[in-house]
Every structure is written in C-alpha cells, then in structure tokens.
Amino acid sequence: MNVGNILRVILPLGVLGLAGYGLITNDYSLMPLMIGVLGVLMLTMGFVELKKSRKSLVGYGLLTVTIYTFFVLIEKLFLI
C-alpha cells in the first residue's frame, strides 16, 4: 500500500471519531479540526484520482472542493 491508500483509510476514521465525539458530548469546538481533516482527505483523494487518470474530472473536482474546505476552515478559525 502506498501513502495515499493508507491516508484514505486513516483519515475517515479520524473524521468519524471527531464527529462521534461532537454528537455524544454536544461539544462542537472540534468542528474546525474535523473540517481540516476532511480537507486533507479530499486532497489526498484528488491526487490519487489525478494519478490514475490525468484527465479525471473527479480529481479536479475534489481539488476544487478542497480549496473551498480550507477557506471555510480558515474562516471558522479566525472569525469565531
């Protein structure tokens, strides 16, 4: 397994853990961290898709969503 596949397994577990913690405790202070982990997950998925096929619209779409996700993360961190 390469690094991309390992990250595609580990990062969703981190997101599920953070989301479960937020739902159980009603403490949503870790939400920006979860958004950041989702952004890194989509970034790795986008690079894996682009590595498979250079003309993959899914890869470019994931990279576009990643940029938006990081924008939301920065906004959440600095405007709260």
pLDDT single digits (tens) 14-73? 999 999 999 999 988 888 889 889 999 999 888 888 888 877 788 889 899 999 999 988
Give the pLDDT of residue 76.
81
Round to whole Å and give the CA distance between 11 and 19. Answer: 12
Round to whole Å and give the CA distance between 10 and 4. Answer: 10
Give the pLDDT of residue 5.
80
Give the pLDDT of residue 31.
87
Residue extents of the structural domains in the chain: 3-78
CB atoms within 10 A of CB 56: 15
pTM score, whole prediction: 0.81
Give the pLDDT of residue 80.
63
Spatial neighbors of 60 by CB under 8 A, at least 6 apart, are 46, 50
**Among 75, 71, 19, 67, which residue's Cα sits nearest to residue 43?**
67
